[in-house]
Amino acid sequence: MLPALLVVGRNFQPIKPFLSVYLVEEKKFTTKEIANKIIPWWLYAMLLFSIVVPVIVKKIGLFGTILASACSDIVSGVLLLLMNDRSVPMTVLTELLNAFRSSVIIGDKRYFGEKSQAKTVEYSTLRKTTGIVSSFISQNLYQITGTSQASLYLTILSQICVLILTLIVPGKEEESVSEPIVLSRFSFELLAKIFSYTGAFTLCSCIRIYIDLILIERTGEIGENEGIVGAVVDKISYMFYIGSLCIVKCMMLITDKITTKKTIDQNKAPHGYLEGVTKLVAVCLAIPLVNLVKDDYIKTEVLGVCSWGMQLAGINALTGSTTIFGGYTSYLFSFLGASTTMYISYNRINTLSLDMIIPIMSYMGGISCAVHAVIDVVSRRRKLTPTQRFSLYARIGGVLFASSALCSSVEYFRMWKNS
């Protein structure tokens, strides 16, 4: 029970969908400043932690690393709350801490999911479900109060609870998961899944990095269709509204910085709903699809190829769309493909890599961040908007998926020859 609560706490972070919104509305940054002055530091930090995290795990274990990550989450939240307006150094520091937390996610998955695919599915489902609840609550907090401060307070509180839980949850004997990489143990199947996961992770990350900035830029462009969709989602999330209102009332007893609004601005982009729906798509579609074909090699490979196409199509559609509704639809389509690819790839990597899982996953994250860093430099020199950067990502994703297909073909030929 306690480990499950720990997973819930680790992934209950209402501020996540509204971090860029918080920086723009509360700390007076512009989207251009975030893209050019803040995000690059997160990318460089992710690149650094891809090398450092395996060493940390080797020294203090998975659980110790999770404990350190919980502490970094609390410090990051407090810094965001207390820092001055447009303070680049403090914001960069919070991004460094967020990068550490992002780098440790694979440690969470291996610690709680272990080597069992069934436990990995349980972990992923619980993680995504928590994310759905967290995102819908954050959206309602934002609509009730008119700011994202309430979400930040709630995130800090939840991470303090996580820190307490990590001290209560009994430790368990940990297997070796951070041994040095031995290239001679790499098969074509493992290489194929590494290329596939890296491509999906890169495309998924690029959308997550820039989608909030794009939606902020498009705020005010909500048309009739978007209003209808928003109304439907509002009805679905009514139960979250009641809970969120209770949370706000409790916060108002503690601080006068949180107040309720009399009217809701329907022109505000629903970042929380978007984040929640993407996780809902993963839980209801991606995970069941992967489980459905997990025992059939050919069907799994076909599903993987289809998921590649979905990602590339979604990225290109997002580049061509000009409205919030178009951005939502493209994002959801691409996210479904990315989730499917990463579930398929991780399950095989987790099985094939054995005690090298943490270094392999960390280095894949490092390669992805190196790609982001290069694209960031090129984009700033060419003065590309976040939307324009997606065409570069689509090309790189296509190359990685093609490399995966080549390795899979060699592996399939080897299996056919030996059968």
Residue 270 belongs to domain with CATH number: 1.20.1250.20
- Determine the pLDDT at residue 217: 65
Do 318 and 375 meet the contact criterion of CB atoms below 8 Å apart? Answer: no
- By residue range, what is the domain housing residue 89? 2-170+178-418
- In one letter, which amino acid is 160? I
- Determine the pLDDT at residue 43: 83
All residue ranges of the chain with pLDDT < 70 are 1-2, 113-116, 170-178, 215-237, 263-270
- Determine the pLDDT at residue 325: 72
- Determine the pLDDT at residue 17: 87
Q: What is the pTM for the complete model shown?
A: 0.82
The crossing angle, in degrees rounded to 10, of helices 188-218 and 357-382 is: 40
Number of domains in the chain: 1
Q: For 26-61, how does the pLDDT look when each residue is reduced to its tens digit (9 = 90+)?
A: 999 988 888 888 988 988 888 889 888 888 888 888
Q: For 59-85, how does the pLDDT look when each residue is reduced to its tens digit (9 = 90+)?
A: 888 888 889 999 999 999 999 999 999
Q: Any idea of the CA torsion for 396, 400, 405, 409, to the nearest 10 degrees?
A: 130
Do 309 and 333 meet the contact criterion of CB atoms below 8 Å apart? Answer: no
